Each structure stands twice: as C-alpha cells, then as structure tokens.
Structure 1
Amino acid sequence: MTVREFIAKWKASTLKERSASQEHFIDLCRLLAHKTPAEADPTGEHFTFERGASKTGGGEGWADVWKKGFFAWEYKGKHKDLIAAFAQLQRYAIALENPPLLVVSDMETIVIHTNFTNTVQEIHTLALEDLEKPEALQKLRWLLTEPERFRPGITRHMVTERAAQTFAELAQTLRSAGHTSHSVAHFVNKLIFCMFAEDSGLLPGHLFTRMVESIQSRPAQFADRARLLFAAMRHGGEIGFGDVVPWFNGGLFDDDDALPLDAVSVAQLLACAKLDWSDIEPAIFGTLFERGLDPAKRSQLGAHYTDRDSILRIVGPVVIEPLEREWSASKIEISSLLDKGTAPARKKAEGCYRAFLTKLRAMRVLDPACGSGNFLYLSLVELKNLEHRLMLEGEIFGFQRDFHQIGPHNVLGIEINDYAAELARVTVWIGDIQWNMKNGVGYSTDPILKKLDGIACRDALLTRAPSPQPSPARGEGAIQPEALTMDADASPPTSPLNELHGTQAPHGPQAPPPFMGGSVAQAPPPFMGGGWGEGSLWLEAAWPEADCIVGNPPFLGDKKMLAELGEDYVTRLRSRYKGRVPGGADLVTYWFEKARAEVEAGRVQRAGLVATNSIRGGASRRVLERICASGRIFNAWSDEPWINEGAAVRVSLICFAGNGLAESECKSARLDSKPVSAIYADLTGPAERAGFEPGPTCDLTTATALKENESVAFQGPTKGGAFDIPGELARQWLHQPNPHGKSNSEVIKPWANGQAITGRWPDMWIIDFAEWSEDQATLFEAPFAHVLVNIKPDRKFSPEKGMRERYWLFKRSGADMRLAISGLSRYIATPEVAKHRVFVWCPASIASDKNLVVIARNDDTTFGILQSRIHELWALRMGTSLEDRPRYTSSTTFRTFPFPTGLTPNLPASSYAGTPQAEAIATAAQRLVELRDNWLNPPEWVERLPEVVAGYPDRILPKPGCEKDLAKRTLTNLYNLRPQWLQNAHATLDAAVAAAYGWPADLADDEVLGRLLALNRERSG
C-alpha cells in the first residue's frame, strides 16, 4: 500500500471504531513494511490486538493494540474525543507494563504521547496529510521499531532544577527589596502553584502567564492583578472578561497578599512562567525550592539532593511491601473462591477484595520530621500506585471499578521549619494532582486543594504544657500538677530546633503566620516563666495516630547539640527522655525512641528512619538496643551515601517493627539487601549459611566492658580554643625567660592529632596549663598573653560556665589520662577516626589531641595485640564510623576487647615478660614498627635535628630535593599501598597473637568475632 492509497482510503472511511481499528493498524503495517501482530507474534504474548481483560465500563481489552516495551494504542471513531481515549490508556498503563509510548487515533489523526520515566512528556501529532512527509513516516517506523528515538532530552530533574534556580533569583530580589523572608516564601509558594496549575490545565488559558505579560510595561499593576487572581483562587469565580477560575484554596490562598514587583522582578517571573511546570519532580521539588526560599540554605543551591530510590529503601519495606504481601495472600483466597463458580462464593470473594481496599485506603503514613515533603510525597505516590494496581486486578476478577480514594489525607507530617512545612504541603498537592492526571484519573474539585492540616508546623519532641487559668491556690478549683496534660498541637513558637533549621519566629513570639497551619500557643503565666527557661513546664510532644512512620530526622551530633540548640533546650530534652535516650546520644535518636515507643504501644505497625551511621555504636546505639529488645529490625542498610543539607554524608537506614511482626516478615529480614536471620543493634547480622539458616551467633552489641581493661585507654584532652601554636613560635618562647625562672617548656609541648599520626607531623605545639591556677599561669608570660588575646574573648560567649570562668584551661584537661601515663617513657596512640586502624608509639613528651585514643602501656606485647588482625576485626565491628572512616573509642572498642589470657592490661608487663607468647608478639611488633619507621623516614631522605631544648623528640626534616617524595610517606599511603613486606610483617604478628589465644591463624572473620564474644561473656559473667 502506498501513502496516497492509505490517505485516500482512510479519509473516505466512515467505519465505526470496532470494525475499523484493526484494519487501520494492519494497513499501517503494510504501509511501513512491518509485520502485523499476528505475523510477528502468533501467540499474542508481546504484540497483539485487544490486550488485557474486559473493561468493566464496556469493551474488550485495556488497549486496542499493544507491543510490549514499545507502545499501547487506543482507537476511537472519527472525530471522537482523543483526550478521553488518552485518559483511558493512562488508567491502564500499569496493567500494560508502562510502555514508553501511549498512542491514540481516530483514523484521521495519530497522537503519540511519550511515557518515559523521569522525563518531561512530549506529544507528536500526525494528521493523515502529514504522512506524505518523510519525517512523519519515520516517526511511525520508530514507533514500531525504535521507541527510544522518542525519549525526550530533558528530564524532570532538569526542569525542576532550572525552575528552582530561576525562582531563587526572584526570591533573592524580593528579599533585597526589603521584604521579610517569610512573606517572600509564602508569596513565592502561591506563584509556584499558579504556574503549575496553568501548565496542568487547572487554570484556564495560561491565565497567569497572560497576566504577567500584560503588565510587563506597567509593573506597578502586578500586585493588584495578583491579588485579584489569588482572591478568585480562594473562592472560585470569574476574573476579568470570561476567565472562570476554579475553587482552589486548601489554605494556600487563605489570604490574597501579593508583593509589589519592579520591572526586573516581572521579567524574572515571566522567565519562570515560560517553563513547563506540569512536569516538575515533587520528589526533589521541595528540597530545591527550600534552598532558594530559605536564606539560611541559599548556599546549598546547586548541591546534590537525595534521590527517589534512596527514599524508597525506607518507604518500600515499611509502607508498601507488607501491603503487597498481604494482597498476594488475599488474591489466592479470592481466586479460590471464584473458582467455585457459585454466587455466594463470588460475593465472599468480592467482600474480601473490598475489605482489603478499605484497609489500604485507611492507611496513614507519618513523617515526624518531614522537611519539605519528599518522604510524604513518595509514600503517597506508592500508596496510590498500589490502589491503582488493586483496582485493575479487581477488574480482572470481574469486580466493578470504583473511584480512587487515596490522597493527601493519607500522609501526615510534623516540621518545625516554616519554610519547609508549607513547601511540604505544596509538594504533596502537586504530587497528588500530577499522579491523577498521569493516570487518567482527573482531579478533585470544590475545592481542588483539600486542607492539609495533617502537616503541622511544630516541635516533634517537646511541647509546652497548656497554661492553667487563674484559680485559687487552695480548695475547690485549684489546679493540680497532674492536671497539666500534654497538648499535641501546642508548639513552642521559637523552638531551638527551628533555629537549627535557620529560621526565626515570623510574627512575634506567640503567633505563627496563618499559612503555617500550626496552632497558636498561649503565653505562659508569670509563675511558669517563658521561653525555654526554668519556669516553663515542657512535656513530650504527642504524634498523630498513624499506621507507619518514615522520615529523615535532623542530623546533629551530641557534641554540637549544646552549641546549636542551647543549654536550656538540651537540658529539658534530656530530662524529658531520661532513661530512654542516654546522655551523649545524637539528636536523631530521639525520633527513633519516640517511634519505638509508638510501635511498642501498638499505635504504629512499622517505622523506618534515617540516621548517620554513627548510630551503630556509642551512646546512640543504646536506642537501637531498645528497639531490638521491644521489637525487631527487619530491614536495614548499615552504611550508605546520603545527601543532608546539600552535603554528602554516610547514613544508616533502619526499618523496625514490634514483636508482633507477621511470621512472613520475620523470615524476610534483609541487611544491605541480603537475607539474614537477624539484624543486631550495631546493624550487623550473624554469619549466614544456605538460605536463612543462621551461622555462629555473633551479636557483638551484647559485649560488655571488662574490668581488666579499666583505666588504660583514654580520649585525649579537649582544647576548647586556639591553644595550638606553630613550631616556629614555640621555639621562640622556649628561649624566653619568665619572672619565676621557669622555662616555657613546662607549658608548651609538641602536639599530635589524628592527622599527625596518619599523615606527617605538621610541627604544631600546644599551650597546656594542665590544672594550674590563673595566678600560676600568668607567670608564663608569652603563652598566657596568647591566651588572653586568642582564647579569652571567645570563651566569654560560651554557654558553659566552666569555659567562661577557667578560660586559660582546656575544656577537658584529661587529668585521668595524665595520671595514667605519668612515669611512662612512651604511650600507644591511635586516631579516633581513620581509614586504617593503625597504632603508633608516642614519646610521653608529646601532648595528644581529643581525636586520639591514648593507651597507657609501654610494652611491645600490648602494642602487638592492638595492631593485630584479631583486634582490628573487633574494632571495626564495635566502633562506629565518620563518613567512610571507622571510629575507635576507649569505651565501646577497647574496654570490651578480651586480650589473651595472661596478657590482659590489668597485669604489669613484667608479669609476662619472657613468656613465649609475649616474646613472639613483642618481637613481631618491634619488627613491624621498625620497618614502618624506615619506610616513613628513610635515612637517605631525612636528617634528624635535636630540639632547641632537651626532653623533646628530634625534629625530622627532609634533605634538599627530597621534600616532595617525603611528603608522600604517610601511614595512610603505606596502608593504601600495602606492599608485600608490610603484609608479611602483619602476617607474622597475626600468627603470634592468634597463638597466644590458642587459635589457628586462619580463622574466618566471623569465627574470630564469635570466639572473642564468648571470651567477653565469660570474663564479664
């Protein structure tokens, strides 16, 4: 068939859809020299007419023509509604395996809609007459043979990033004009939704863009025009001449406030309006726009963001997969009932289907730190996808299709940051509307935007007790302390958690702005005080009822909480959660504990939260131990990359449930995507053999501190100020006299931190007055003068009283460590955080930093045991990590480690000197240190100079011409290279240490850990 023949035939045709559709497609195949469905696929498995089940609304198949992985094609009679045909294809796209192209045709026009994941949608319309053009025929050939040719070059991520960047510029212009950040943010959110609404067809005729274009030469009119539009969107109705605006509201348009724009701002806004807002990606929308609207986060513009797949690692196991498993079981029951072929059985089958659908539609997902809504959006989309699949499968069973009901009301959120809270609502609204349109469902009306009171702007951890009304102090009507109950809606308007997000109370101390959705907290009476002070009564905040909890709570380490949140807030937080969250735990653990309590109480089925990977150890791990004691971790990723506040971090993703977890879920625990029989609190599992059979039990979180290891390992002192000085200055001071005749060498020492161990020593010294009084310190003139200028001014503003009053001393002196190493000529040191777990000898004259762990031993045997593979395995499992670098601690790592019998740290080295095991370890350790030192400082490349005063190690300086080569000689580089001689030296040491335990040298890692744990339990029992 020729092109002219095809055009002539179908232009003249008056056949109805049913009789014409297959013939039309077969003619197209003949025209393009392509096999027909019957010729290409006689079985109809991948290329067929009338694909799918009968439609409950009438008709056969979900698509008139279907080619797997290529397209789905729906025909309509001539001049029929192709928009309705496309909506039908969208509804059944999931059942048709989401083909990349969706095609509709009325025999005179062929419309190709792209349906690729994460790309903007493109539409290609071909009229009959267009087929005479070679490019039109080429598109039809690609449709049948190369659908990838239609893939749009612009992704949804690209569109969203471009829109966020453009709006960030507009927001900055408005702030520069003197408008408050909060008024700018609320105004911009309304503009954002207007542009999405017009590009999605909710606002008629690109009304918003026309409005902006109309005032380009008269920018002073913008605010008045915008107010008219916002007012119309609040109530619905006509605007201008004939444009009818639907009823939107939902809270976003409760006010019609609009900011004035100058010509530059109007041009920026018009540039924004020209973008296609219908395809922005809600999964990243909130994060990107928050960076532009929140001035505290503007520096994060252009930074990476957390991707959809990472979030689904939480949402999938916690929210969706349990429902899918339950539905799979229900389908088996439904099929069995339908197979009976009786009316009662069919009625029971449909009842089973309807009951599950009702349960699904009642699901509520809470994100108690929802940020700008990415977890909420993806939870909503996945629930809607599941409902959609269920309804399609219900049609296959022959049940009547009903309306989609899952929507924004199925997700709940708590967020302290007002920028983020409103963006979360906008994200959920946009995501819901996008999904409905993409799947041919349509959108709700009257109003289009339903209230999202379920996303509250308040503190998720603490709430102020309601203020009692004035009443007699005694007798009837007196308020008793127990009458002060928790108010879940009361929110501290200026919570320090808000400060953590970089925002301030927008409208004074008592009233959040109307668009926030938060309740107004009453001012406390005089006897209760105000703010976070001593007089206020603060309670644990309540969380709304939900079935599942997901989210990414704020990351803030224990050591930074005081500085970031303030002493008052931290004191109250720790007091309120005392006995549940230990002191020293990171901020994120409070969300874990609250979620655990909700699960234990039966109010929540499952929870999944993100934390920094340090939650696997230290005080933070105690919260996971409570989770394991009252329930079960059933899915976890122990150490994964993540984006937090625009920065790359390492995190743990942890999903848990109560002890009532379904049997099917108990058998499907997964750790780092692999099946395991259990997940311990340190996010490790037992060694696994085939299937789910457990290997040796090795839950190292049950290891306890050993008395024999007490008072041996210490964290170095914490400076708390700029006490460090360069070597050149230190050497000058060493020659200067003091009024009392003592040398400055008594208070200045060479100083080593982690970098000095793993890299090369940077020739840094430290001023250290130990525990001396201020009067004693003043007698060391030059060092004390340095303290007055460089430390005292900063200490004045410290929230800690001791830091302010004892400004010349370290924040933490490390007195216990000083006592332990006094009398030793050297001590063992290892960096707290390092890529490789290496130990070194430090002369006693070198001062250690807080990021060094100091072991107060000077015998080679102890050194060798610590540097062995056996101890390294224990350290890696018992420690936490910073990013991808393992962390070693004196408490959880050293104190729990069982040394070989007879070689424990509570014994003097003289007690085992000369024994074969100790001698073998000491000899191997000495050899390892000697080889390492020779590699680090080759005699051919260095010269050693005595220090300017006695008592300090020699200075190691590069010989002329060797500077660059010597700079590369570091322990990190050595262990990165791991040359054969180093491997041999370690193998000899490892064998000697294993022999001291009485073990073979080639034990598997899990076997070593299992034996060490058994020793720990034996000695601690």
Structure 2
Amino acid sequence: MNAVEIEAAISNLAEQPFDAAEFPFAFLAAFGNKDTTLKRLRAGNNNTSDVPGGVLLRYSIHIAVCETGTVANTLRALRASLATAKAKAKFILATDGQTLEAEELGSGETIACDYADFPNQFGFLLPLAGISTIKEIKDNPIDVRATGRLNKLYVELLRENPDWAKDERRADMNHFMARLIFCFFAEDTDIFNGDVLFTRTVDQFSERDGSNIHEVLEIIFRAMNTKIADRADAGFRPWADQFPYVNGGLFSGSTEVPRFTRIARTYLLHAGGLNWKEINPDIFGSMIQAVADDEERGALGMHYTSVPNILKVLNPLFLDDLRTQLAEAGNNERKLLNLRKRMARIRVFDPACGSGNFLVVAYKRMREIEAEINRRRGEPHLGSDMPLTNFRGIELRDFPAEIARLALIIAEFQCDVLYRGQKQALAEFLPLNAENWIVCGNALRLDWLSICPPTGTGVRVVADDLFDTPLDQAEIDFENEGGETYICGNPPYIGATTKAPKGASKEVKERLKKEAEIRKTDLQSIFGKLTNTWGSLDYVSGWLMKAAEYGRQTKAVAAFVSTNSICQGQQVPILWPLIFATGHQIAFAHTSFKWANLAAHNAGVTVVIVGLSTQPSKKRRIYALDRDDNISVKEADYINAYLVPAQDVIVKKRVEPFGELNAMIKGNAPTDGGNLLLNRSEVKTLGLTQQQRQQVVRRFLGSEDAINGKARFCLWLGRTEADALSTNRSIAMRLENVRQMRLESEKKQTQILANTPYLFGEIRQTGREFPIVIPRHSSENREFLPFSLGIEGDIVADSASALYDAPLWNIAIYASRLHLIWIATVCGKIKTDFRYSNTLGWNTFPTPLLTEKNKADLTRCIEDILLAREAHFPATIADLYDPDNMPDNLRHAHERNDEVLERIYIGRRFKNDTERLEKLFDLYIKMTATVAKIKPAIKTKRTKNA
C-alpha cells in the first residue's frame, strides 16, 4: 500500500462506529498487513501481548484497547511490557475510542489526539507500512489527503465521461482539475472573499444527484474569466457574481465541465471540506501529477520528492552563495540592496520540471532570503522583486506542466501572506498574470535558448548542432540583463535499454517499444553528430549535454539529479569527454545516495548529483553520505567524471592485472543448446561407472550456482574420452544434439565447432585447476562481493570469471570494501547489480607493492572469512551475505580483512568511500603512467631480437 491508500483506509476506520474488539485488527489491516497475519493474531497463536486488551505484532506495534479514561496508563503499561521489548515492537498505541495515544519507541516521539482526529496523524505511523517517515508529510498530512480525494473524483468522472479519457479530451480534463485545485485553495485563503465560497455554492445550487453540477461549475468558471465591469451585460446569477475575476489563462478558453454523478458530487464536496490553506505546493504538485496518469495512478502519492533532497541540488548550485553574501552584507544597506537586485535577475530553469517542485522550493528559499534583506533594511512591507517568470520549466505532459504553474502561483501567495501579511497579499494577488513560464513539450527537442534566452546587450549567440537558430535582439531577455541562470532538475530515470516487465500485455510491450524509439531518436538528435557510441547512454545524458551546450552559449551553471550509471563503467568514456569539450568542468557533486519516494518497502533509485560550470571555483566540493546518513563535505582541486577528487582520467580495459595479482579469466561457454549440461538426476541416467563418472562428469559453476548453492554438472570430454564412450547411447545422443545445434547456427565459427561436439565452444581451463569463482553480477545490497571456492576439477561457466590456483591473499583483495567501491565505480551496474568485469575491474585495480608479511596477513584474513562461512554450513552465499541477516562472526572477519588491507594502503582505515576512491585513482594514474613509460622499451627490445 502507498501513503494515499493508507490515509484513505485510516480515515474510513475513524468514520466507523468504534468496535473495541475489532479495532486492533482493522488498524493493522489499514497499514497493509495480510489477512493470514491477522487471522493468526485473532486466533491468538501469534499474539504474545501481556497487556489486557492487547494485540502485539512482532517487529511492528503493540496495541491495546482500554477502559474509558485509562489511555495514558495503558500506554505506560505497553511501554513497560516485557513482551513489547521481546517482540522488538517499533510503536505502542492505546485507545478507548474517545482519545488515542501512540509512541515511536526508537525516538520517544509521541502523539495524542481525539480518536476521530487520528487520521490526521497517519504520517507519524507510516513506518508501520515500511514507509520512511518524511517530515513534511508527518507534520502536515493535507497533501496526501487532498491527493486521495482528488484521485477518487478523477476516477469517478472518467467512468461517467469516457470521452474525457481519450487523448483528444485529456487536456480538457486535466485543465478542469487544475481549476478545481485553485478554487479549493482560494476559498480557504480568503482569495474568494468568503468562507468556503466555492464548496458552499456548489453544495447549495446543485442537485443531490449531481445532475446539474456541470452547469453550476461552468457558470462559476465563466464568471472568473469575466472582468467585474463586464458582468452587467453577461447576466450572471447573483451567486456567481460573488466570485472574483481571476483570468491569467486559468479560466480562459472552454469552460465545459464533465458530467457528475451523485458519487462524484460527494467526492467533490469531500475534497472541498479539507483545509487547503495548509497545502504545500512543493509536495502537493509532485504527488498530484499521478492523478492524471493511468499508469502512475497505481503509485499514487509516491511521487513526492523530499525538500532535503531537492536542496542537495539547489544549495550548492546557488542558494549557499546567496546566504553567504547575505551574511557578509550584515546590516550594510548598500550591500543588501545589491544582493536584492542580484536576486531579482536570477533565473531558475528546470527543463524536466514535472509539477514544479524544484522551482517552487527555489522560489520559497529565495523569498526567505529576500524577506530577511527587507527586514534588515527596514522595508518589510515591500513586495518581491522576483517575478515568477524568472522560474521557468519544460515538462513533457500537459497536466504536470499546468500543476507546476499553479504550484508557483500558490507558493507566491503563501510567501506574500507570510512576509507581507494577508491583507497586502490579497490586494495584489488577482488577477493572475497571463504570462506562461512553464512550457509543455519535449525538452530534448526544444530550443532552450528560446525558452530561457540569454540576458543582456553583450550576449552573442552562435548557432551549432543543438541550437541551430541564433536569437535576434527581440529574443534576448533584457529584463534580467546581466543576470544569472541556474539550470536544475530531476530528469527521467531511464537506462539505455528498458524491457517490458514479466507477463506484460502485448499493448504494454508495444507502448514501451514506441517510447523507447522516441527516446532513441531524442538522444540521436543530440549525440548523433558527436559520437557513434551514444546508444549505450542513459536518457538523462541528453539533459546533461544540452545543459553543457546551453552553458557554453550563456555561461549558465547546471546541476541535475542523475542515475549514477552515467558516472560509472562504460558510459563515462562516451559521455564525459563530450561534456568536457564544451569547456565545462564538474563544479560540485554528490556521490551515490537513494532518491526514495513514498512507496512501501521501496529503497528508491540510486542517484548522483552533478554540477556543471565553465567557471568553477578553485575549491570544488564533493558531498557524500556516511554510514549514518550524515553528509560529509570534501574540498578538491578537481572532480573527475567518476566523481572522485582526482585528475581527469578514463579507466580503460587491460589484458593483465597490475602487480602480482593472478590473472582472472572468464569462464567456459558450452555453446551446446544445453546438451552438455546436466542436473543431478540426469547424471544418474547416463549409465556410467563410478570411474567413468569421475573422469568425464564435472561440477559446473556459474554465478547462480556459486551464490545460491545450486548443483549443476557438465560433460567435460576430450577426443580420447569421447571415443571411449562412443557406444554410450545417452552420451552419443547428447553429442549428436550438440552437433546439430551448432550446424544450424547462423554464425560461421559455431558451425565449425560442430566438428568437435564433445568440446565446449569456448575453453579457458584444463579442468585440473583449483578455481575461485567470481560471479559476473552481484546485488548492490550486499556489503561485500561474493565468491565461491571450487575444488580441483570444477568447471567454471561463462556467466562467471575465475582465479585459477591463485594464492588466498588474492581473494582478500577481491573481497574487500576497497575493491567493491572500485568495481561499482569503473564497472558500473546493470539494473541494481554490480557488473563485474575481469578486464575493467580486476586488471585495473591498483595495488601497492605487497611484502611477504602483507600477503601472510591477508591470507590469515581470508582464512578467517572461510572458517566463519564454514561454521554456518549449509547456508549459501546468498544466505550468508544477506545484509539484514549476515552472521556477526562473518561480518567481523570481513571488517578485519578491510582494516588490514586499508592499513597496507595508507596506514589506517579510510574515512569514507570518497577517500578510498581518491587513493585508488591516485595509484591508478601513477601505475598507468609507469606502464606507459615501460612499454615502448619492451617493444624495442623484442623488435631487435626478432
């Protein structure tokens, strides 16, 4: 369940007559607990509560229903309960049906309210559904409640008006919803100069069955699009004349309204009954955009981007600088005035604005600074010098674009009320400005210079591949002459390739295919003339490249939230040389962190933030999260494309590893159509003697086998063994199937392999080695890279790589945090899995010169790891390295290994991953430079010998 669904379920529970016996189970059901869980609790099998009237759900909550007036005492009993502690409950809750109290045991935070009001506290309780509590939702749940009410109304209206769901009418429907949102907000903030004027008018003058609501709304909308002076001739009814003139494009055009049902009318009035005065435009807009999207509606309420995350972009981009200048100005009126003038010319441009959350947060934070300037100058009455037209955006879909503009309007009004007072805010709010500063369109196809033109008379724009129409004088933004432009945003998280989910319908597959083609064309239009390897770039790369070209023309500074894959692996050498060629450098960066939403049990997407500038400061900043989610800041002279404080370098594949590391070799490919591979039961049906089985049947280990402990086998034959077993019908049939499969292949090389059907297609070992199996992919959730020890004779599959007969200290290096961070950076990921590469990851890993004592210490470390694993036999690698259930002795052994290795590198533990990468890149640059110097001498010597 998502936050909106939970709020709706709790609200429904609070509206029902209180049932003491049923309440705990209904409450748990509202937070998404399964019927089977509730059934066991009802039966008493899993209910270990030791408090009268109590229901205890392990790892979740201890609830007790009590006698009237005893809520506080019951809560104390729950807190002191031994069962609460033993079950590791996170919350306790007590109610008598009149009042309700609850406590989060970890933080000690409590709530107390009337029973009927407890739905207003649902944000406090969201962790019960696996949803991280977000302060804005916790403190003020109106945004989630409003989203839920509007969604019900929207769905009901589309059911009654199916034509409005079609593409040609969807824009009308979305525009109608935007009008409703404005009306709800306006009536609760005195903009309509009357208490709940809109909701009350609809209620009084519409039929109970909803049959004439469309007529009432059409009249109201027409009134708000008609100036007061012109209304005498329009013949409006007295109740419509009460509404002010709004215009500004919001009520212009068609005023047609979809038909209502009785249920739709009820939903409309329920939505109007909320207090929209408290709406947060920086939250609400982002959440409400899902209402108008059929595919996103299932994720309703999850599209919330937290303000702290947005500020991770905006603060280093420009807000920190404004605050610094404010602090330096002190009470100097001239400096304060200069800062205010500077801010009035700042433009914030989000070319992937969605419903405008970045723009709204930027506006509100700038208004805070401006209000402080006015306070220090003794001018608190002054209006804002920052026009909304300085906050510009591009959004592909029409409804979010409309909501973005509406969110900015609401933010402006709320700021005016806060800093200038209700009376002044109301006096200047209407009519709305008719200028549209949010453009609906494809940001990768539109000319950004035409949407956010360069400023000032000294601007000179030169045509190029991305901006092929130079602007004339009329298209230059003289109002903000000499001002700054900051580009920011959160473009779509879409990789180079996207596959339809398992079981997807034909229609979904076709739609996804069509969307993929559009994205491909978008990227080709940007990168096609620059490189022929653009096909493996993530979609966000298009925004970064366009921002770099825009900044080259205008000196704008940009910062985007991006999938972290653009700063890892194969995308780095494709994208970043092109960006750097425009004269841009990385001005600041935030290394990988989770960009989470309000989905239950959703860890979110792993992202980075990259700031681009042609004139970065001398000291650049890298922000990173430590293990406790605290932000650390490191100053650097340079930030490279991997977001490491090191020189600009691209890590390239190598054919052999540095130093004394053993070669890591890709596994063996059967190319057999499955005929050389066997499970345990198939081995028995071959009819082989014990001696024959030992000679030709080998354990076959791929990534899945190594991690999950699967048992697979293969036929490992040479010519001699194949001839000796030629009379074995089972084996002969399998070899014939291999031969036929290879002959039918379209590849010439595979057809040639048909001559030796008893051999694997690709052979990279003799079969007499001791292999250490390295899985090709591993979940990013694991804290350590997995490996598996084979025995002599095991065959490694091509889904893995292997170290053959390698000393154990090699594994100590592979299994370290240092190596995992290197792999995550230079090899990248596929979906959420580390993508391990022997040539790009192992062979490039920089290792210092190791003494014999170093090797002995590392060998002891890996022996301890293996002994800890052995102690938990038969647990699989997947079991042992589950981050939530990793055995303490195994974790300790790995941490000891990390400490020993890191002391070899720098004499102590590294402070964080940024410091680890800084050291590794420094070593890599030195080692590659050394190799480059040595190689020519070797070549010359070989030539002479030849």
Output the TM-score relative to the length of structure 2. Answer: 0.61
For residues 470-524 of structure 1, give each alpha carbon's deviation from its aligned partner in whole angstroms, at most 9, with x where no partner exists: xxxxxxxxxxx999985799xxxxxxxxxxxxxxxxxxxxxxxxxxxxxxxxxxx
Tell me how far 1:305 sits from its aligned partner. Answer: 2.7
Alignment partners' CA distance in 2, 1:845 and 1:379: 60
Tell me how far 1:318 sits from its aligned partner. Answer: 1.5
Aligned: 1:419 with 2:399? yes
Q: Partner of 1:408 in structure 2?
A: 388
Quick one: structure 1 residues 463 and 766, their matched pair in 2 at CA, closer, same or farther if it must change by over 3 Å? farther
3-state DSSP of counterpart to 2:211: helix
Quick one: structure 1 residues 821 and 591, their matched pair in 2 at CA, closer, same or farther if it must change by over 3 Å? farther
Q: Partner of 1:555 in structure 2?
A: 493
Q: Partner of 1:680 in structure 2?
A: 639
Q: Partner of 1:951 in structure 2?
A: none
3-state DSSP of counterpart to 1:601: helix
Alignment partners' CA distance in 1, 2:613 and 2:895: 49
For residues 160-212 of structure 1, give each alpha carbon's deviation from its aligned partner in whole angstroms, at most 9, with x where no partner exists: 11111111111111222324062443322221111111111122323311232
Tell me how far 1:587 sits from its aligned partner. Answer: 1.7
Moved more, 966-975 or 864-873: 966-975
Tell me how far 1:594 sits from its aligned partner. Answer: 2.0
Alignment partners' CA distance in 2, 1:874 and 1:271: 54
Q: Decide which of 415, 436, 445 is 1:435's aligned counterpart.
A: 415
Q: Partner of 1:977 in structure 2?
A: 888
Q: Partner of 2:553 in structure 1?
A: 601
AA of the residue aligned to 2:545: E
AA of the residue aligned to 2:237: G
Alignment partners' CA distance in 1, 2:715 and 2:493: 33
Q: Decide which of 541, 550, 554 is 1:589's aligned counterpart.
A: 541
Aligned: 1:250 with 2:248? yes
CA contact (8 A) 2:183 2:198 kept: yes
Q: For 1:180-219, what aligned pairs fall within 5 Å after superposition? A: 180=165, 182=170, 183-205=172-194, 206-214=196-204, 215-219=206-210
Alignment partners' CA distance in 2, 1:653 and 1:639: 5
For residues 522-566 of structure 1, give each alpha carbon's deviation from its aligned partner in whole angstroms, at most 9, with x where no partner exists: xxxxxxxxxxxxxxxxxxxxxxx9700111111112232896643
Quick one: structure 1 residues 987 and 681, their matched pair in 2 at CA, closer, same or farther if it must change by over 3 Å? closer
3-state DSSP of counterpart to 2:603: strand
CA contact (8 A) 1:832 1:887 kept: yes
Aligned: 1:859 with 2:794? no
Alignment partners' CA distance in 1, 2:494 and 2:746: 23
Q: Decide which of 421, 425, 441 is 1:458's aligned counterpart.
A: 441
Q: For 1:699-718, what aligned pairs fall within 5 Å after superposition? A: 699=647, 701=649, 703-709=651-657
Quick one: structure 1 residues 715 and 230, their matched pair in 2 at CA, closer, same or farther if it must change by over 3 Å? farther
Unaligned runs of 5+ in 2: 1-134, 449-462, 472-482, 501-511, 625-630, 688-692, 717-730, 754-758, 934-946
Q: Partner of 2:609 in structure 1?
A: 654
Alignment partners' CA distance in 1, 2:554 and 2:225: 40
Quick one: structure 1 residues 856 and 277, their matched pair in 2 at CA, closer, same or farther if it must change by over 3 Å? same
Residue correspondences, number: 681
Alignment partners' CA distance in 1, 2:325 and 2:811: 56
AA of the residue aligned to 1:556: I
Q: For 1:144-543, what aligned pairs fall within 5 Å after superposition? A: 157-177=140-160, 178=162, 179-180=164-165, 182=170, 183-205=172-194, 206-214=196-204, 215-237=206-228, 239-241=236-238, 243-254=241-252, 255-303=254-302, 305-327=304-326, 334=332, 349=334, 356-395=339-378, 402-439=382-419, 440=421, 441-443=424-426, 448-462=431-445, 486=468
AA of the residue aligned to 2:635: V
Equivalent pairs: percent with the same residue?
21
For residues 404-456 of structure 1, give each alpha carbon's deviation from its aligned partner in whole angstroms, at most 9, with x where no partner exists: 23232111111112232222122112222222223224157585322353211
Q: Partner of 2:561 in structure 1?
A: 610
AA of the residue aligned to 2:358: F
3-state DSSP of counterpart to 2:443: coil
3-state DSSP of counterpart to 1:296: coil
Quick one: structure 1 residues 651 and 602, their matched pair in 2 at CA, closer, same or farther if it must change by over 3 Å? farther
CA contact (8 A) 1:319 1:548 kept: yes
Quick one: structure 1 residues 863 and 207, their matched pair in 2 at CA, closer, same or farther if it must change by over 3 Å? closer
Quick one: structure 1 residues 615 and 763, their matched pair in 2 at CA, closer, same or farther if it must change by over 3 Å? same
Tell me how far 1:464 sits from its aligned partner. Answer: 11
Alignment partners' CA distance in 1, 2:323 and 2:614: 20
AA of the residue aligned to 1:828: V
Aligned: 1:635 with 2:588? yes
AA of the residue aligned to 1:252: L
CA contact (8 A) 2:301 2:598 kept: no
CA contact (8 A) 1:369 1:415 kept: yes
3-state DSSP of counterpart to 1:676: strand
CA contact (8 A) 1:724 1:767 kept: no
3-state DSSP of counterpart to 2:378: helix
Alignment partners' CA distance in 1, 2:353 and 2:899: 53
3-state DSSP of counterpart to 2:349: strand
AA of the residue aligned to 1:229: I
Alignment partners' CA distance in 1, 2:151 and 2:309: 26
CA contact (8 A) 1:367 1:550 kept: yes
Q: Partner of 2:937 in structure 1?
A: none
CA contact (8 A) 1:936 1:970 kept: no
Quick one: structure 1 residues 244 and 464, their matched pair in 2 at CA, closer, same or farther if it must change by over 3 Å? same
CA contact (8 A) 2:879 2:886 kept: no
CA contact (8 A) 2:392 2:437 kept: yes
AA of the residue aligned to 1:312: L
Alignment partners' CA distance in 2, 1:359 and 1:235: 37
Quick one: structure 1 residues 364 and 292, their matched pair in 2 at CA, closer, same or farther if it must change by over 3 Å? same
AA of the residue aligned to 1:199: D
Query: What's the C-alpha RMSD, in Å, of the aligned pairs?
Result: 5.3
CA contact (8 A) 2:669 2:762 kept: no
Quick one: structure 1 residues 460 and 860, their matched pair in 2 at CA, closer, same or farther if it must change by over 3 Å? same
Quick one: structure 1 residues 483 and 984, their matched pair in 2 at CA, closer, same or farther if it must change by over 3 Å? closer
Output the TM-score relative to the length of structure 1. Answer: 0.57
Q: Partner of 1:837 in structure 2?
A: 785
Aligned: 1:1017 with 2:938? no
Aligned: 1:731 with 2:720? no
3-state DSSP of counterpart to 2:154: helix
Alignment partners' CA distance in 2, 1:802 and 1:487: 48
AA of the residue aligned to 1:866: Y
Aligned: 1:894 with 2:842? yes
AA of the residue aligned to 2:374: M
AA of the residue aligned to 1:731: S
Alignment partners' CA distance in 1, 2:355 and 2:605: 21
Quick one: structure 1 residues 378 and 594, their matched pair in 2 at CA, closer, same or farther if it must change by over 3 Å? same
Aligned: 1:570 with 2:520? yes
Q: For 1:27-106, what aligned pairs fall within 5 Å after superposition? A: none
For residues 640-659 of structure 1, give each alpha carbon's deviation from its aligned partner in whole angstroms, at most 9, with x where no partner exists: 23225954325444353434
3-state DSSP of counterpart to 1:389: helix
Tell me how far 1:628 sits from its aligned partner. Answer: 6.4
CA contact (8 A) 1:236 1:244 kept: no
Alignment partners' CA distance in 2, 1:728 and 1:717: 15
3-state DSSP of counterpart to 2:320: helix
Tell me how far 1:674 sits from its aligned partner. Answer: 1.9
